[in-house]
Amino acid sequence: EAQVTQNPRYLITVTGKKLTVTCSQNMNHEYMSWYRQDPGLGLRQIYYSMNVEVTDKGDVPEGYKVSRKEKRNFPLILESPSPNQTSLYFCASSLRGRASREQYFGPGTRLTVT
């Protein structure tokens, strides 16, 4: 089944404790992206990647890192999480970014930073 998977689905952590949220897709997509979703703000793009070793900032990259060492994986790293990073996070992929009609979204990761 074609899908985007994220782990963990739920995470509660404390300020300053480094964490990684994994994202994997099995569709051989070139483009992958991370979003956060907050009440009243819709989804905001954090980072995106056009292909392996090619990443770029979205609208809200501060406090986040990403890497794209393999085509299928695009982990989101919070080196020193803060309470304002409490949010619902979505990973997405598409064949070739805007040239592709559809982005496929993962199920979401609920992160709480205390």
Partner 1 sequence: GESVGLHLPTLSVQEGDNSIINCAYSNSASDYFIWYKQESGKGPQFIIDIRSNMDKRQGQRVTVLLNKTVKHLSLQIAATQPGDSAVYFCAEYGGYNKLIFGAGTRLAVHP
**Residues at the contact surface with partner 1, assessed by CB under 8 A:** 4, 9, 31, 33, 35, 37-45, 48, 50, 56, 58-59, 88, 90, 92, 97-98, 101-110
Q: Closest approach of Cβ 39 to partner 1, in Å?
A: 5
- CA neighbor of 32 nearest in space, from 10, 60, 58: 58
> Is 1 or 102 the residue whose CB approaches partner 1 more closely?
102
Q: Closer to partner 1 at the Cβ: 81 or 106? A: 106
DSSP 41-71: TEEEEEEEEEETTEEEE-S--TT-EE--SSS
CB of 12 or CB of 16, closer to partner 1: 12
What residue type is 102 in one-letter code? E
Asked whether the beta carbons of 66 and 55 are under 8 A apart, the reply is yes
